[in-house]
Structure 1
Amino acid sequence: ARLIVEHFSGTTRTQAIAEPERRLGAGVVAEIDAALRRRAGGEPVHRILGYREFYGLRLSLSPETLEPRPDTETLVEAILPFVKAVAAREGECRILDLGTGTGAIALALLSVVPTAIATGVDLSAGALATAAGNARQLGLAGRFTTLQSDWFEKVFGRYHVIAANPPYISTEDIGNLQDEVRNFDPRLALDGGADGLNPYRTIAAEAVRFLETEGRIAVEIGHTQRNEVCEIFAAAGYVPSGAFRDLGGNDRVIVFERIKP
């Protein structure tokens, strides 16, 4: 409730305490009342506000985008040293962000590495419009392009990094998710097929045509999926170069490289 009141009133808690006599206009009160009713109905607070902070960046949300979460910052931290190293050595680092959504992963990396460039891929035109808007707001549009594609279908070129936070919930488990996730995050960004692993199979099978020889693939995973995802990538000729846990201590990200001949 505090975030909602502060957002719509433009007043911080400190200001409210310092100026107890300050009154809000009828229009602002109506906006706050409507927002609080939405929250009482189960809508996530950041959906109501229309944005979410991610890696220090303010990212606009839309109904077509997954709400970026702190767990995904683990992926940014996991691949960032490699992005920096490639950029320093090559003068640039080309990043492909599959299922880009708000653009969170790509834009976070671009915000830190000024010679990195990224392509954000998504099947949803609405998500791509949101990602492009975020890039403009952050002053990163010159290094970020969007591509509507079903995974690699329309992708071209080669990249030093392929990153993805793919759908990894099994179809039958969608109904068991928290209401805030099940009812407000797009199903396209959640449903990973019968066992939740279909996107990893696609990425592992097709990435070789688009990954530089010494490149890396960084994927977020469900906390119980580490062994299965490693097996999928091993069968396609990859070996883990790093595995990372989120702030809760759960397996969350694996970085892969090609097995050396």
Structure 2
Amino acid sequence: MKKIAFFDIDGTLTSEIDGSLPKSAINAIRHARTFGHLMFINTGRCFQNVEPRFRRIGFDGYVCGCGTNIFCSGTEALHVAQTHSITMQLLEAARKTNVDILFESRKEVAFDKSKSLTHPDAIHQYKAFLNRGYDMPENLENPNFFCDKFVVWYQTPDQLEEFRKVSDPYFTCIDRGGTFREFVPIGYSKATGIQYVLDYYHLDLDAAYAIGDSNNDLPMLSYVPNSVAMGNASPASLFDQVSFVTKRASEDGIAYALEQLGFFES
């Protein structure tokens, strides 16, 4: 039976130690495809932030932006974008509450540089994008600017509470730990992305396997009957919510999972 696997990126495809891409994971994914199984990335990252090193592995498609942008066999099958008006409401709310906001879309990422970034993690992320050579727009009031989703860093709970008065009618707030939150359009998730892909290929839910390492992956892990947690998953409570626990990403966890779950056979 043809199977389809959906992989998170950070801490799943990449080593939890240094963010590198284990050779064993690359080889295993390519090997599984030779048996006719479908391999998909399923990530909160928008497509422009799925780095070339991941695309070079050779995937059948991508579920990006928590289900808001989907590529199947080289075709962009779905793209859900926010209007410029909604994006400006979010920008104004971020400025009023002094949270650091990062807008994401399929083509670009953008910080609000009208003010200095205040959160250390936001500053770190901004520098990481610069190091990757990202060309980040600064004129966010441009009528052609919009986002697909976004994240914020905040200092106090009151800041987040006030900001969400504006965002909650449009977005689901995902707790990523600490003072970091991810916002995804209501009605979209890694799970809805999986169902969209299954419908596209006319596959049953039983054929789907989801592999992740954090609470951000729970929507897809709880949606499929074949759920896999990496051995480095955090929090550890995730182990009790999946059907299979593989080895750590740095210890060939992807290769081990695909072999054990029958991806190296037709």
TM-score (norm 1): 0.33
TM-score (norm 2): 0.32
Max Rg structure: 1
Higher helix proportion (structure 1 or 2): 1
